[in-house]
């Protein structure tokens, strides 16, 4: 497993990266942690002529709080995310998710931005970003723009990102008051993609669910926001019956592939089981 030859660039600034990507357009790929792209290159399923390494761009790094929101630089590694105490207190679901991605060495290199951006339905962060209603800050030669995660995913490995653009940061709004969130993942072993996984966040008011968001991993060509499932819970008391109804609604929007993780009907049902478990954990954390 040997990659095909390419030219390598390691720009220091975002504008430099953009001009390199722009100059070589279709034949260029940006690389961050490389743990999705390099295996693809070794299998020669990806054969970019030009590889633009974002790893040396200081502006893409770092985790910071801005008001109630948190901003994650795109090349923040999963390990850096896990180690950030402030973020773990404010948005524990991010750490919980990151710890379920791959293994220590992969988390040391793999970036949050890469996980969110590359459009692999098996990646875990997209569902979390859908659930948390994150926004992706995008830079291109035409200027900067912001894309809501909920509008970003178009199909397997197809996103709203235009050629030559890169995501520079991910902005996560403050969660509602009294919210709890959880990411529950069923996988065959460490390092595996999810058979099915669910992110859920809900807040409670007077013992009733006031807000709710649910998103699913790896049970369709993209991560899915389960809007109807979440909407059905508003005003309901948290509990097995309500969560079962939400799980059924979530299952209804899935479109999983049959593969080594199991046949379609199993993976669909697992999406439901993961939703139930994520909701139960989220409700408990919300104090319900």
Q: Which is nearer to another protein, 7 or 13 (CB)?
A: 7
The neighbour count for residue 236, using CB atoms within 10 Å, is 16
Mind giving me the DSSP string for 19-58?
HHHHHHGGGEEEESS-TTHHHHHHTTS---SEEEEGGG-G
Binding mask 167-206 for another protein (x = CB under 8 A): -------------------x-xxxxxx-x-----------
Q: How many CB atoms lie within 10 A of CB 20?
A: 20
Of 68 and 104, CB closest to another protein = 104
Among 21, 74, 161, 270, the residue binding another protein under the rule CB under 8 A is: 270
Residue whose CB is less far from another protein, 171 or 276: 276
DSSP 8-state class, residue 259: B
Would you say 19 or 47 has its CB closer to another protein? 47
| CA torsion through residues 249, 253, 258, 264, sign | positive
Among 27, 103, 151, 284, binds another protein (CB under 8 A): 103
What gap in Å lies between CA 126 and CA 150, rounded to an integer?
A: 9
Eight-state DSSP code of residue 119? -
**Pick 79 or 172: Cβ nearer another protein:** 79
Task: Give the nearest distance from C-beta 243 to another protein in angstroms.
Answer: 13
Interacting residues toward another protein by CB under 8 A = 1-8, 10, 34-35, 38-39, 41-42, 44, 51, 53, 55, 79, 102-106, 108-109, 186, 188-193, 195, 259-263, 266-267, 269-270, 273
């Amino acid at each position: 497993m040997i990659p095909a030859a390419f030219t390598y660039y390691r720009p220091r600034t975002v504008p430099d990266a953009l001009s390199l990507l722009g100059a070589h357009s279709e034949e260029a790929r940006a690389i961050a942690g490389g743990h999705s792209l390099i295996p693809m290159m070794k299998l020669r399923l990806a054969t970019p002529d030009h590889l633009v390494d974002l790893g040396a761009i200081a502006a893409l790094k770092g985790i910071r709080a801005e008001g109630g929101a948190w901003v994650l630089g795109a090349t923040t590694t999963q390990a850096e995310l896990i180690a950030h105490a402030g973020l773990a207190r404010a948005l524990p679901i991010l750490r919980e998710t990151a710890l379920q991605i791959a293994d220590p060495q992969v988390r040391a290199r793999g970036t949050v931005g890469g996980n969110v951006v590359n459009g692999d339905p098996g990646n875990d962060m997209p569902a979390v970003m859908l659930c948390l209603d994150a926004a992706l800050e995008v830079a291109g030669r035409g200027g900067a723009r912001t894309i809501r995660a909920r509008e970003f995913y178009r199909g397997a490995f197809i996103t709203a990102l235009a050629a030559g653009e890169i995501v520079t940061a991910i902005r996560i709004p403050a969660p509602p008051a009294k919210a709890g969130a959880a990411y529950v993942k069923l996988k065959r072993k460490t390092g595996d993609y999810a058979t099915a996984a669910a992110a859920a966040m809900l807040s409670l008011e007077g013992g009733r669910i006031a807000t709710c968001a649910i998103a699913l991993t790896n049970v369709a060509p993209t991560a899915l926001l389960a809007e109807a499932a979440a909407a059905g819970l508003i005003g309901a008391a948290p509990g097995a019956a309500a969560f079962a109804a939400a799980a059924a609604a979530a299952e209804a929007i899935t479109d999983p592939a049959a593969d080594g993780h199991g046949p379609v009907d199993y993976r669909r049902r697992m999406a439901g089981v993961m939703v139930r478990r994520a909701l139960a954990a989220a409700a408990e954390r919300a104090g319900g």
